[in-house]
């Protein structure tokens, strides 16, 4: 099970591109609204989530994904359910993924300590304990981070490769006409 957390002010492309790719890959992914069932992105696009944070409290997925955007990232970081879930998934060895400003949430939780990571330019100091990379998408063991909306498809393919293998990710990339 994968939880994709959405908070008001999330970056739509960073959430919906990986969501689409993972569903094409046959993964069970649930969108989770931090402050209710309908969450509005930073560009005014409302998304009706599969579950609310309260509905999933205490249930741990195998994978958690945090999209960036402002103030979405701040809203994710302010949610005890999001933070507790991320911390628990990470400690169990599950896959933890964040893009754009959202790796700053991982930094504040200690998830990036001694790991290579990337983020949207200007948030590097929030990647506490990380070896900050200039790469667009970075995987270090069970943590995947990415720079921003322009690499949201690559972020989705990296998560797919981690879960389903590189061959599946390559097949999807080709079928979607991505180079």
Taking only the tens place, the pLDDT of each residue in 51-97 is 999 999 889 999 999 999 999 999 999 999 999 999 999 999 999 99
Q: What is the pLDDT of residues 98-112, one digit of tens each?
A: 999 999 999 999 999
pTM for the model stands at 0.97
Determine the average pLDDT of the residues in 8-19: 98
* pLDDT score at 179: 79
pLDDT for residue 57: 84
Residue 8 DSSP code: T
Compute the mean pLDDT over every residue in the chain, rounded to the nearest whole number.
97
Confidence grade of residue 45 (pLDDT, cut at 50, 70, 90): very high
- The CA distances from residue 17 to 112, 126, 150, 174, in Å, are 24, 25, 10, 15
Percentage of the chain beyond pLDDT 90 is: 98
Q: What is the mean pLDDT of residues 148-165?
A: 98
What pLDDT sits at residue 23?
A: 98
pLDDT exceeds 90 at position 151: yes
What's the residue count for the chain? 179
Check residue 83 and give its pLDDT. 97
User: Which positions are annotated as active-site residues?
Assistant: 100
Domains of the chain: 2-169 (3.40.50.880)
Mean pLDDT to the nearest integer, 36-59? 96
Which residue's structure tokens are 């930094």?
A: 107
Whether the bond between 71 and the residue before it is cis, its omega within 30 degrees of 0, is: yes
Give the H/E segment covering residue 75: helix 72-77
**Model confidence pLDDT, tens digit, residues 111-135:** 999 999 999 999 999 999 999 999 9
The confidence score (pLDDT) of residue 132 equals 97
Q: Which two three-digit tokens encode residue 19?
A: 């969501």
pLDDT of residue 58: 84
């Amino acid at each position: 099970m994968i939880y994709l957390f959405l908070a008001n002010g999330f970056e739509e492309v960073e959430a919906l591109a990986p969501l689409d790719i993972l569903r094409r890959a046959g993964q069970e992914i649930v969108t989770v609204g931090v402050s209710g069932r309908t969450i509005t992105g930073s560009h005014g696009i409302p998304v009706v989530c599969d579950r609310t944070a309260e509905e999933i409290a205490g249930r741990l997925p195998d994978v958690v994904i945090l999209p960036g955007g402002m103030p979405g990232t701040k809203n994710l970081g302010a949610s005890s359910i999001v933070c507790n879930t991320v911390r628990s998934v990470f400690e169990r060895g599950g896959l933890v993924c964040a893009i754009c400003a959202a790796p700053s949430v991982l930094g504040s939780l200690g998830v990036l300590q001694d790991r290579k990571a990337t983020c949207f330019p200007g948030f590097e100091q929030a990647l506490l304990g990380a070896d900050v990379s200039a790469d667009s998408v970075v995987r270090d063991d069970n943590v995947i981070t990415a720079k921003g909306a322009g690499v949201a498809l690559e972020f989705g393919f990296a998560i797919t490769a981690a879960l389903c293998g590189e061959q599946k990710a390559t097949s999807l990339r080709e079928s979607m006409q991505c180079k």
